[in-house]
Amino acid sequence: MPELPEVEIIRRDFEREIVGRKIKSVEADGMRSIRRHHNRKQFANRLVGKKFSGVERRGKYLLCRLDDGDVLVVHLGMSGQLVRAKSAREATKKHTHVVITLTQGGQLRFVDPRTFGEMFVTELDTVEKEVAELAHLGIDPLDEPMSWEIFGRMFTAHRQKLKALLMDQRLIAGIGNIYSDEILFAAGLRGDRTGESLSAQEVRRLYRGMIEVLQDAVKHRGSTLADEQYVDLFGQAGGYQAFHQVYAREGEACRRCRKVIVRHRYGNRSTFSCPACQV
């Protein structure tokens, strides 16, 4: 599932490639990806003839601004891809659900095999009403620099486990299952430690680990796992998975201490850690 680094890369690509372009036509193959709209025509009517005027990221959501004040909200869900085709003749991938054709040529395509992702158009002011998560979104660790003291107060006030706190969108926006595991390894902390158990030194390590992992992940253009679902706007896979220390490395040797990386259950997902490097 795309997390903050992947969505941030798509935002940057979108800003360079798509902002300033005008929408000529819109096609959707059904209602699944545009389920907040009444019908396909109503979705298309809110886009056709408008120009993209900017793009921002809130947590894992992309807000593509239109020149009339509306905004096209894109959430990639589990498996969504937002890709730019240079021309309409370029082969269409399977599971392409929405195609936005631009007047200067080229298309923006929304591909989503598992269909948990979505797109919808709304007024900027109503985005938070539409998506409850955005109304209560926590601090963005890349966009809103905070001191490690503030970060520490946020964490040490909670009895929940660190893994859950890192993934709580109301505290910190944009972190999911992959990056929480990598951040915890970088900090040398177990995910089942509680927030209130952290010492000042551990808070600093966790804070530094979070910033370093997220910045590195953006630098290497995100993580594309074995399922190859995440790609950037140009359809290219990310490179950060080669730098993962624990995530999806069960049974392999820890790069720091050579002990074997283990997998645990976490809700209905898996979490990975080194039994020696994380305390």
* Contacts with Zn ion, residue ranges (CB under 5 A): 254, 256-257, 274, 276-277
Other beta carbons within 10 Å of 103: 12
CB of 254 to Zn ion, least distance (A): 3
CA distance 178 to 241: 10
Minimum distance between the CB of residue 279 and Zn ion, rounded to whole angstroms? 11
Residue found by looking up tokens 């935002």 in the block: 11
- Based on the residue annotation, tell me whether 51 is a catalytic residue of this protein: no
Is 269 a residue of the active site? yes
Whole-number minimum distance, CB 182 to Zn ion, in Å?
A: 13
Cβ distance to Zn ion smaller for residue 219 or 256: 256
Residue 135 vs 257, nearer CB to Zn ion: 257
- Closer residue to Zn ion, CB minimum distance, 3 or 182: 182
Of residues 120, 131, 126, the one with CA closest to residue 32: 120
Q: Which is nearer to Zn ion, 78 or 248 (CB)?
A: 248
Catalytic pick among 60, 65, 190, 193: 60
Active site residue 255: no
Q: How far is the CB of 262 from Zn ion (least distance, A)?
A: 10
Maximum CA extent, the chain:
58
To the query of whether residue 15 is one of the catalytic residues in this protein, the response is no
Q: Report, as residue numbers or ranges, the catalytic residues.
A: 2-3, 60, 269
